[in-house]
Amino acid sequence: MRLTVDARKALSGSDFAGPDRSFPIEDDDHARAALMDVGHDKKLTSSEKATVRRKAKAKLDEKNDRDLHDYLGKTYGKKK
């Protein structure tokens, strides 16, 4: 789960939920970690914390939507 320095540098800006490339959310584990950790960060404003939560939740919802779409396509898309 820990990102190397090179892996972190390779991420695009949209793979971070916080300011200054903080709170990476490139996968489900990191998005969940961002949701759990953001409340403990004393440096962020309440608005920045809300942004981190919104982006992390959106990332998780996006993944869940894709999984559901794939599941439904496999389940209901089969021709009988």
Q: What are the sequence ranges of the domains in the chain?
A: 5-76
CB 29 within 8 A of CB 21: no
Does the pTM surpass 0.85? The reply is no
Hey, is 7 helix, strand or coil?
A: helix
Q: What is the pLDDT at residue 80? A: 46
Render pLDDT for 8-62 as a digit per residue (tens, 0 to 9): 999 999 999 999 999 999 998 999 999 999 999 999 999 999 999 999 999 988 8
Quote the CA–CA distance of 29 and 27 in Å, as a whole number.
6
